[in-house]
Amino acid sequence: MSAFASTTGILGAVIPLTVPLIATGEIGAIGFVAALAISSSLVDVSPFSTGGAIAMANAPEPERRTIYRGLLRFSGAMALAGPLLSWSLLVAPGWL
């Protein structure tokens, strides 16, 4: 539930900022909002989010550092690659 609330909160803050871009008509609103939704939900497993913190709390003590680093690498990679990939699939083609 926390991941859903976090993603919804980010979307509630970001979508109003996109109105000027969507209003020009050059970017499809559906594809743009879908790309934002995907990008905002990809990092919900970071060790700083509730989902990542729960995963770390349930890990055996000797494995916590490894899991922390893995979650941090994954969320960093998703923060970089996720928006680019979702934009290139949903916004750039212009069919959404």
Q: Can you give the pLDDT of all 96 residues of the chain as single tens digits?
A: 566 677 788 888 888 888 888 888 887 888 888 888 888 888 778 888 888 888 889 999 999 999 999 999 998 898 888 888 888 888 888 776
The confidence score (pLDDT) of residue 94 equals 75
DSSP 45: G
For 77, the token pair is 């990679």
Total residues belonging to the chain: 96
The confidence score (pLDDT) of residue 1 equals 58
